[in-house]
Structure 1
Amino acid sequence: MNLKFISTFLCFVLLHSSKTFGDHFTNQSDLETYVVHLEFHDQLFSNSKDVLLWHQSFLPTNLNHSSRILYSYRHVFNGFAAMLSSDEVREMEKKPGFLSARPQRIFQMHTTHSPSFLGLHQNVGLWNASNSGKCEFNVTNCNKKLIGARNFVQPGMLPIDENGHGTQTSSIAAGNFVDGANFYGNANGTAVGIAPRAHVAMYKVCGVLWCAEWMILDGFDAAIEDGVDVIVIPMGFGHPPFYDDAIAISTYSAMAKGIFVSGSAGNHGPGSGTVMNEAPWILTVGDSTTDRKISAVAVLGNGAEYEGESAFQPTNFSQKLLPLVNGKACESLNTSNVKGKIVLCDTSGDLSRNVKGGRVKNAGGAGMILMNEKYRGSTTFSEYDVVPTTQVSYKDGQEIINYVKSTSTPVGTISFKGTRMGDKHAPTVAYFSARGPFIPSQGILKPDIIGPAVNILAAWPTPIAGQMFDLLYGTSLSCPHLAGVAALLKNAHPNWSPAAIKSAIMTTADIVNLGNDPIQDETLEPADLLTIGSGHVNPSRANDPGLVYDIQPEDYIPYLCGLNYTDDQVSLIVNKKVHCTTSIPQSELNYPSFSIPTESSAQTYTRTVTNVGEASSAYTVEVYGLKGVEVTVQPKILKFTALNQKASYNVTVKSLDLTGHSQGYIIWSSDRHSVRSPIKVFPHISVI
């Protein structure tokens, strides 16, 4: 069975035009793009023309309807995007069937070794098991790999990627084998995506740094109609309620059609409550490192050595110890103090790494040691620097500063070691990886998983100095890794639902690093569940999870009703008329993880698992961690006699401390499988 194609959203660049869509339609200064939601309509329209005519009926009769409606949605929700004035919107509000209209939001983009780091190898395991969209390119650009490419930013123009974001993400998710891939000679080897035999359909919905909401919705609508299997959404916007979140609404419609959605957690870590793409039907992916470094070692006069990173690896840099000088933020450097010296610069201020390096170079400095601020911790990047450089961790930077202060003649140099494998701390969570909880729905543990997102070799669309690849970082890179894994699993298990695939990924994740210690965050301390979710993805284990926690689209409705949404708000999300006659607590959703508020009395939650392992099997439960919390699981043994057989169990939680946080794991084990669910118990917070 061949994989169907992956749809990557965020793909390309706004072409060189200063005009907006509004310029094409009217000169009225008060027009802006509105996203209009309508009540679910029981009438089935036979084609898109009928839908458009119905949507046009909501506009004032004196308007040129064809010039005002930008897009009429058929799949993601019932409604349209249009250029309107506030007065016209108020007039439209009076019409039966109208739900809401608001100005569109602007979304931000979250921007070769990783397959082998994840245990994927050619002709083995998942790769051995894996054997239509519309194309707006000419026939020579679309092929058996790129089977669809559409431009929603400027319809009628070629969907060219001049930004790089779409090329990067799609090459990670489904790139084919390319021998000799490297970045200025570093990370040399065979580059390949996670699902190299998958097909790709691209939907250009973003400008250079932003993504207009109505264009994102256009792309989702088209992808659903095209019948994609997996969608990548490496972008996000704030934390609106689900009924006011274009991505949450669109991805629900995709999930209901059997499409798996992998979304980035966002780059706003390490602060608490920064996670994006929080809907429980999305796999929310955080960021981690791999065991590969492009090594550049700071060597001090006292013999101490501190390993950092840089993709600029000069072969002729002198190993003679040079004077060290602290330039702090390196915003202003004096040539007389810097010339011929190695300059210490920290990452504070508004200047980028390359600009700081340029300041050092222009002042005659011989090199730069870039030292992390405290919040960046141990996360370092391999960039192609303009001056010999190493970026070191916050801890190492502090030790270097202490050395400089300890002597009147501090000296040092940089030793460039090239590509190095085997970092036992990997995977480590990157400082920028967004953290939970999602305050409006803390009963769902987010993020769900972490995956590679630091110094990833990915394809680049416009070669610079002959470089076809670049070393990149950001959650925009972790979610296509997981999308590729999902595509492999969907190919291997075509009958699994998106929730079953998600469960398989989560319950088989790794919670220890290559050194067999608990996965660490950027401080090199054990990472908590709001940082790593279920852990780091392990594709091979996900292919054989034993048990899965399945969720059908209609199962989310009682959960949404339990969030105290109105009937209309829930109907808007699920794209059909709903009456909230039944609701459940958030923690009761049949999710592969547990996130439970403390209560004064014991609380019981039910989970149902489906046997996808051995027909005849028995699983025994164990509970780990959870200090200050009594946890009882009944029954303690689950027995199965057939594949796809279901069994339920109850988890009763009694908190001994109503103000404390506690975390641990519930693990069901058989002779061959271990099915692990993280469980977090947190102080109850009332959200008004």
Structure 2
Amino acid sequence: MGELPKDTRFLRSNHNNILKQTIGSKFGSLARKPRVLHSYEKSFNAFMAKLLPEEADILSRREDVISVFPNTIRQLRTTRSWDFIGMPLNVTRKQQVESDIIVGVIDTGIWIESPSFNDEGFGPPPAKWKGKCDKGVNFTKCNNKVIGAQYFNLQGAGDIDRITPADFEGHGTHTASTVSGIPVPSTSLYGLGEGTVRGGVPSARIAIYKACWSTGCSDSDVLAAFDAAISDGVDLISLSVGGLSGDFFQDSIAIGAFHALKKGILTSCAGGNSGPEFGTIENVAPWIFTVGATSTDRKLETDGMLGNGVAISGISINTFEPTEKWFPLTSGTLAEVENANYHGNSSACDYGTLEESKVKGKIVYCLGSNQQDYYIKGLKGSGTIILSDKMTDVPFLTYLSSTSINNTNAALVQKYINSTKSPQAVIYKTRTVNSITAPFIPSFSSRGPQKVSLNILKPDISAPGLSILAAYTELNTLSGDKYEDNRIVKYIFDSGTSMACPHVAAAAAYVKSFHLDWSPAAIKSALMTTAKPMKIRPVGAELASGSGQINPRKALNPGLIYDLDINSYISYLCKEGYNSTNIALLTGNRKYNCSTIPKAKGVDGLNYPSMHLQLQHANESDISAVFYRTVTYVGNGKAVYKAKVRGPKCLSINVVPNILSFSKINEKKSFRVELKGKFVSKKTWVISSSLVWGGKKPYVKSPILVYRPLLNDMY
């Protein structure tokens, strides 16, 4: 994963020699001889080989090897959303510049036949484009919209009949269209969410890198995708893939994103779907733009009616109209298999606990998760009413007429079933309604704090990721189940930080189209400091939302930016205790030595747009920290900014100096933020505050968060 040598002609041979010199001498008597399976030689210097644990250990000890890590499998982690965040169809654009921007999407491939990728009116690819278009099953050529498509299957994860850029899963098509799909009017899912579907930068070009298959995304394929995308000339990378975060030199995504950064490419990554637990955030390297999910102001609501005239309401994605006015209603408890030897809970409609004759033709009331819908269909049931034990804010796609209800509605259902010998009900097709609580953080979105880089707040930012309507592949059914579902559609609703990530990639591309000379850190800063604060802010909300929800139009004129160059990140790595030799290999600077550079100042040692202090122990109460920051003025004319701090009385925030005056563009000013205070309650675990640079120019906002673990904190 190091810097490429000037002459790459013999790189693969050199990699084989490394194996021979290091391992051959130790294991020469063995019949098995390790060999290089793949060399990464376009954008960085690395190789893949099949090794025994003891061989990997010996190889990792070489001074010219940065790291050796196993090839792990990572997991994949919109009509209304762009309007909701303030980017209507007629938003001001630099059309020609946007058309020259190339967004690389690392995912499951693409269904290029989707109307979202029609290239009518597009000219040839930008002259800087160096990529290619692989052919395969269901994929014969690219076009002037999707200008590149490659697949990577180094470990044989893909099925033999699916070794192609074509998308058999649907995930990649969905994310690609969210970034840059062209406007497609009168689009919906069986009438749900009807409107114009489009991406955030519809004039931009798309380059697809298929590194994810039905089994997930292997590190070797993800690195190969980065290697190609950087070399091909993409401007930004969208990667809706996650996994456990760890040592940056052992993390394929952190490695790939670092090499992208060196070429001026910003990488947007999904923050993970392991919420609502804290300490679950993924992709935490500070050079990655880490994204959490928010809701929009549209909710998918599925109503029902009980036989006594009482209405109930829940959420789901139910595409079915009722075929009868009423259906018999039962519960899992009443439909239990008699005298059966099984392990399960019939009230939760666990698999194998229900009698088909008691379910057939009926709507079944179940406790538990949303998976029972599939089981009830197999028993020839007509629908389900589910009291879900989790994800109550995330609508699930149904196999039958089904809805997920809350405790209040569940009490009505239970009372009615117990009040009559012949209960009945009906479930109506899902409808879209306005959500008055938007935006909020959905339960699935992963939260901080992180344990890799303690004083960097992650996620960085949040974006729409709940019930996003976008393009889908026609090589898969709506549910992904080809045995129980025959619905083939062009567009679907999907939820996850996977859906939020391409929103941020598109927002970054939009800002870049107005500021081609801005660094990845500058674009990131502009979006973070202009983000919209969440309306609902429970304790520790920033650990889920970061700086807030993206506001791309405001980010065009942020006033001040917190910029960073590659040397700043390298200095930070030194501060974090990374080995000088490995950093030298990573950067290509063989003389690099951490001891020769000025020590990074402050708690975090990085010029980051947010400020985060993470105490180590639950019994720590005293707060004392200093953050050093430098801002660059990117406005017009002269400007004066005054610091305004907001926070509880238990935290004193002192900004020195508290007034910054600028006389010209690109002028830099430095300041420090001093924190002093105390946790006054044993039950308090996070203190939230903020710094706002204000004046006649745009406001520049940074969250300030102090965290300490609770005694029972097990993240």
Aligned length: 628
Could you tell me which of 602, 605, 615 is aligned with 2:637?
615
1:188: which partner in 2? 194
Deviates more, 1:88-97 or 1:660-669: 88-97
The 8 Å contact of residues 373 and 400 in structure 2, kept in 1 or not, is answered as yes
Give the alignment partner of residue 254 of structure 1, picking from 250, 260, 269.
260
Preserved contact between residue 43 and residue 231 of structure 2 (Cα < 8 Å): no
1:99-498 equivalences in 2 (<5 Å): 99-110=66-77, 112-126=79-93, 130-131=98-99, 132=129, 133-137=131-135, 141-153=141-153, 158-300=164-306, 305-318=311-324, 323=329, 325=331, 327=333, 328-331=347-350, 332-335=353-356, 337-338=358-359, 341-348=362-369, 353=371, 356-361=372-377, 363=379, 365-373=381-389, 375-376=390-391, 378-383=392-397, 385-392=398-405, 394-396=406-408, 399-400=411-412, 403=415, 407=419, 413-414=425-426, 416=428, 418-462=430-474, 464=477, 465-498=487-520
Unaligned runs of 5+ in 2: 100-128, 334-346, 478-486, 616-620
What SS class does the counterpart of residue 487 from structure 1 fall into? helix
Contact in 2 for aligned 1:59/1:65 (Cα 8 Å): no
Within 5 Å, which residues of 2 pair with 1:55-134? 55-60=15-20, 68-74=35-41, 77-85=44-52, 89=56, 92=59, 97-110=64-77, 112-126=79-93, 130-131=98-99, 132=129, 133-134=131-132
Shift of 1:415: 5.3
SS in 2 for 1:588: coil
| CA-to-aligned-CA distance 1:121-168 (integer Å, 9 cap, x gap) | 223224768452211239962111111111221699542221222212
Q: Structure 2 vs 1, CA of residues 87 and 295 (structure 1 numbering), >3 Å: closer, same or farther?
A: closer
Identical residues among aligned pairs (%):
34
Q: What's the offset of the Cα at 1:475?
A: 1.6
Does 2:594 align with 1:580? Answer: yes
2:583 match: 570
Aligned to 1:537, what secondary structure does the other structure show?
A: coil
Q: In the alignment, residue 529 of structure 1 is paired with which amino acid?
A: E
Give the alignment's TM-score, normalised by structure 1.
0.83
Change (3 A) 1:421 1:572: farther
Secondary structure, counterpart of 2:604 in structure 1: helix
What amino acid is aligned across from residue 573 of structure 2 in structure 1?
A: L
**RMSD of aligned Cα (Å):** 3.3
Is this contact kept in 2: 1:295–1:416, CA < 8 A?
no
Aligned equivalents of 1:422 and 1:526: distance in 2?
26
Structure 1 stretch displaced more, 117-126 or 163-172: 117-126
User: How many angstroms does 1:66 deviate by?
Assistant: 13
The amino acid that maps onto 1:652 is E
Per-residue CA shift, 1:239-294, capped at 9, x if unaligned? 21112111111111111211011000011111111111001111101112222233
The more displaced of 278-287 and 203-212 is: 203-212
Contact 1:441 1:586 in 2 (8 A): no
Q: 1:93 to 1:436 in 2, by over 3 A?
A: closer
CA distance in 1, matches of 2:611, 2:37: 42
* Pairing 1:662–2:676 present: no
Check the 8 A contact 1:173/1:195 in 2, yes or no: yes
Cα deviation, residue 65, structure 1: 13
Mapped partners of 1:92, 1:364: distance in 2: 58
Structure 2 residue identity aligned to 1:263: C
C-alpha separation between the residues in 2 aligned to 1:556 and 1:430?
32
Task: Kindly indicate whether the alpha-carbon contact (under 8 Å) linking 2:448 and 2:544 is maintained by their aligned counterparts in 1.
Answer: yes
| More displaced stretch, 123-132 vs 546-555 | 123-132
Aligned ranges for residues 515-594 of structure 1 at < 5 Å? 518-519=535-536, 528-571=541-584, 573-577=586-590, 578-581=592-595, 582-584=598-600, 585-594=602-611
1: distance between equivalents of 2:427 and 2:248?
51
CA distance in structure 2 between the aligned counterparts of 1:364 and 1:160, rounded to whole angstroms: 34
Instruction: Give the C-alpha shift of residue 668 in structure 1.
Output: 1.2
Alpha carbons 2:286, 2:456 under 8 Å: kept: yes
CA distance in 2: counterparts of 1:489 and 1:629, whole angstroms? 35
Q: Given that residues 248 and 277 in structure 1 are in contact (C-alpha distance below 8 angstroms), is that contact kept between their aligned partners in structure 2?
A: yes
Give the counterpart letter for 2:281 in structure 1: V
In structure 1, list runs of 5 or more residues that go unmatched: 1-36, 513-517
> Contact 1:519 / 1:527 at 8 angstroms: preserved in 2?
no
Give per-residue Cα distances to partners, 1:418-444, cap 9 Å, x unaligned.
Answer: 442421112221211111011132200
Alpha-carbon separation, structure 2, partners of 1:180 and 1:433: 30
Contact 1:135 1:142 in 2 (8 A): yes
Task: Name the stretch that deviates more: 156-165 or 486-495.
Answer: 156-165
Q: Deviations over 1:340-385 (max 9, x none)?
A: 653222344xxx63xx224334556443112221x42x412152x2
Greater shift after overlay, 55-64 or 305-314? 55-64
Q: Within 1, Cα distance between the matches of 2:608 and 2:383?
A: 51
Tell me the secondary structure at the aligned position of residue 222 of structure 2.
helix
